[in-house]
Structures are given as C-alpha cells and as structure tokens.
C-alpha cells in the first residue's frame, strides 16, 4: 500500500511568498508592534534594551523595513521616474545607469519608464508615471513627447530635463554649440574644406543644435558645410547617410557626427564599402564618447559627455527643487571634452 500523497490530478498549490512582518518581529522580541516601528524610525525614542531585542529578532527572521509602504503613508514615495524613449540605445543607456546609481546613493528608488513609440505604449507609460506617485521626474534627451512633461507639471511633480529645453523645468544640457564650433574650427585649421555634419530625421533638440552650430561655424571660416541625415540617430542612420555621401561625385573630406553611433555606421561604410582611409581621405569626429569609441575597430575622436557628471547635476537640481519648490528654473550646462584618437588628430 502506498502511504505517499494522493495524486488527484490537480497541480500542487503554489505557496504564496510572504515577507516577514513587523508583527512577527514584535512577537519574537516580546515587544509591542509600535516598539518595532520606533526602532526602525530615525530619531524615534526607544529604550536601548528594547532596541537590542528588536534588532536581534529582525536579524534572526531576516526582516527589512518596507520603505515603499512607509513612503506612501508619509506621502513621500522616494520613487523617481527616469523617462526615456529607447533607453537601451547609445549614450542614453549609460546616462540611465548613472542616474540609477546616483539616485540609489541618495536613498531614492529609480523607476525606468520606457515611453515606447506607439500610442498604446505612450498611454501605458503615462499611467505608470502618475500612478506610482513619483517624487520627481527626470526626462532624458531623445523624443519623449511634451505630453509627459505637461502631465508631470499638472500633477505638481518636480521635473528635470536632460538634453532638451522645456519651459518651467530645471535643465541639464551639454555644450552642444561649443563642441560643434570646436569641431568645425579643428577641421578647417587642418586644411579640410568639404565639411559635413550628420544628424538624423528624429530632429531632437540636441541633434538640431549640433547641426546648426557646426554649419554656422564652418561657413564663418570660409568652408562649405552640408547637413546629411539618416533615419534615426543610430548605427543604421550612419550607414544610410554614409552611403549617400560617398556615392556622390564630390565627397566630404571631414565629417562631424551628431553622436558616436552615427559615426560607427559612417566609418564602416567609408572603409568597407567606399574603400576610403580614415583619417587620410576623410576625417571623422563623433559626440558622446561611449565605450565603443575606444575599440580598436573605431578609435574615434569624439566629444566626451560624462554620464556620471550629467547624472549628478540632474540629481542636485532635483534636490534643490524639492527643497525650494517655488524657486525659478535652474540651468546647468556641461561642456564636453574633445578626446583625441585615430579618426582625426587636430
């Protein structure tokens, strides 16, 4: 006879995972529930002997304070929304990671909200943004639509934007125009005269600023300057723009790319399809200094945006806004540094 469990054809019940509660700690420590709460509340009064018993019981049970629930009760969620479109791409990925680290150091809970690119995805992301009662919102460069900013502002959430201009928001921006003028000047001083800047049809504020500043500076120095664009500000955008440029009768001898991903696509087309030498036939400068820029395949000369610096500036602005809600919008500008590698040496 089989004395084991009877199999009645039903799948075994899945046991619900339960976190250790403050009540369980109180029972094990032999104290009240409020004593446990006071022990884990900074500045609250609790006897030393009681504190010791509570901490010993908490350690034995593996208890941790539910900071999220405590924040909701105090109307301070400590959640900070990081809003981005395609956050996995290029510099945005490194900036999102740096923001998460800076916010965790501060004691905040970063929540990454990918806006998506369809109407359904946008609506779901907006619902997430407001439904979680974020303490503040940080919106990255790229193309999160203005509706996200309007929604945050209507709900009274402090707002910091990175790499774009928005009214009534605190800003962190790279020195796009300064870098673009520096690139055009460096090309002209090295004797290059057929200059091109590659942007994208996405038309983000940072891309537009880099394009216009480069063209203006080049023309003021007596060089011709052309704007080329791929579909988006990514590797394929650089491939598309490169194929168009290098199939033309007159080819550029120097190209400033609005970001490094565009530069990588352009450089691969130049060398592998157009059989051009870099920098002898065409010099290339990028923007961002993502880690791949230093790879032996590229050795890209580029302007460095430091994601750690940008992230900390954004968090500083957020804290300033939380402390002084009625202060006028603040503005931080971070000037990129030109990192010299093999694709162009001034």
CATH of the domain at 101: 3.40.50.2300
* Single residue among 65, 95, 125 that ends a domain in this structure: 65
Residue 142, number of CB atoms within 10 A of its CB:
24
* Same domain, residue pair 149 and 296: no
Which H/E stretch holds residue 257? strand 254-257
Name the domain boundary from 65, 96, 121.
65
On whether both 85 and 35 belong to a single domain, the answer is no
Do both 167 and 316 map to the same domain?
Answer: yes
Shared domain check, 203 and 270: yes
Q: What number of residues does the chain have?
A: 346
* pTM listed for this prediction: 0.76
- Establish if 339 belongs to a structural domain: no
In a shared domain, residues 222 and 232: yes
With respect to residue 239, please indicate whether it lies within any of the assigned structural domains.
Answer: yes
Q: Does residue 52 lie within any of the structural domains?
A: yes
In terms of Cβ atoms closer than 10 Å to its own Cβ (0-12, 13-18, 19+), residue 225 is buried
Within the chain, where are the H helices?
A: 22-29, 33-39, 48-61, 67-73, 90-106, 119-131, 146-154, 176-189, 205-220, 235-246, 260-272, 307-323
Do 169 and 190 share a domain, yes or no? no
167 plus 313 within the same structural domain:
yes
Residue 157 is part of which domain span? 79-174+308-334
Residues 180 and 103 in one domain: no
Give the 3-state secondary structure of 161-187.
EECCCCCCCEEEEECHHHHHHHHHHHH
Q: Count of alpha carbons within 13 Å of 19, Cβ hemisphere only?
A: 7
Give the number of domains in the chain: 3
Q: Is 279 exposed, middle or buried (0-12, 13-18, 19+ CB in 10 A)?
A: buried
Whole-number pLDDT of residue 340: 98
Buried b (16+ CB within 10 A) or exposed e, 110-138: bbebbbeeeeeebeebbebbeebebbbbb
186 and 260 share one domain = yes
Q: Residue 132's pLDDT is what? A: 64
Instruction: Identify whether 8 is part of a domain.
Output: no
**What is the predicted pLDDT for the residue at 4?**
46
Q: Note down pLDDT in tens along the chain; length 346 residues.
A: 444 444 555 545 544 546 677 788 888 888 888 788 788 776 677 888 888 888 888 888 777 665 555 544 444 568 888 888 888 889 999 999 999 999 999 888 898 888 776 667 766 766 776 666 778 888 887 666 666 667 766 767 788 999 877 778 899 999 999 999 999 999 999 999 999 999 988 778 889 999 999 999 999 999 989 999 988 889 999 999 999 999 998 999 999 999 999 999 999 999 999 999 999 999 999 999 999 999 999 999 999 999 999 999 999 999 999 899 889 999 999 999 999 999 999 8
Task: Assess whether the previous peptide bond of 324 is cis (omega < 30° from 0).
Answer: no
User: Do 162 and 186 fall into the same domain?
Assistant: no
**Residues 237, 263 within the same domain:** yes
Tell me, yes or no, whether 159 and 277 share the same domain. Answer: no
């Amino acid at each position: 006879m089989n004395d084991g469990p009877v199999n009645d054809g039903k799948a075994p019940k899945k046991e619900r995972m339960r976190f250790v509660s403050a009540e369980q700690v109180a029972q094990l420590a032999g104290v009240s529930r409020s004593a446990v709460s006071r022990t884990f509340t900074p500045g609250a009064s609790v006897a030393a002997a009681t504190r010791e018993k509570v901490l010993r019981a908490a350690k034995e049970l593996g208890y941790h304070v539910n900071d999220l629930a405590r924040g909701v009760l105090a109307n301070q969620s400590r959640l900070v929304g990081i809003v981005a479109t395609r956050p996995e791409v290029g510099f945005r990925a490194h900036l999102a990671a740096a923001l998460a680290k800076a916010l965790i150091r501060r004691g905040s809970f970063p929540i990454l909200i990918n806006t998506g690119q369809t109407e359904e995805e946008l609506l779901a992301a907006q619902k997430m943004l407001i439904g979680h009662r974020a303490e503040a919102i940080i919106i990255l460069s790229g193309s999160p639509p203005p509706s996200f900013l309007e929604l945050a502002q209507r709900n009274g959430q402090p707002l910091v934007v990175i790499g774009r201009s928005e009214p009534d928001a605190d800003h962190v921006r790279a020195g796009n125009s300064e870098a673009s003028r520096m690139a055009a000047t460096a090309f002209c001083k090295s004797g290059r005269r057929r200059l091109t800047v590659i942007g994208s049809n996405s038309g983000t504020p940072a891309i537009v600023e880099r394009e216009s500043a480069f063209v203006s500076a080049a023309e003021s120095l007596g060089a011709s300057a052309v704007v080329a664009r791929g579909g988006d500000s990514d590797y394929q955008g650089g491939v598309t723009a490169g194929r168009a440029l290098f199939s033309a009768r007159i080819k550029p001898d120097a190209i400033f790319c609005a970001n490094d991903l565009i530069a990588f696509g352009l450089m691969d087309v130049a060398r592998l399809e157009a059989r051009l030498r870099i920098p002898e036939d065409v010099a290339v400068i990028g923007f961002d200094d993502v880690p791949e820029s230093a790879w032996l395949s590229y050795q890209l000369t580029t302007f460095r945006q430091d994601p750690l610096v940008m992230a900390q500036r954004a968090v500083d602005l957020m804290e300033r806004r939380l402390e002084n809600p009625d202060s006028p919008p603040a503005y931080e500008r971070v000037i990129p540094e030109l990192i010299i590698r093999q694709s162009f040496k001034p």
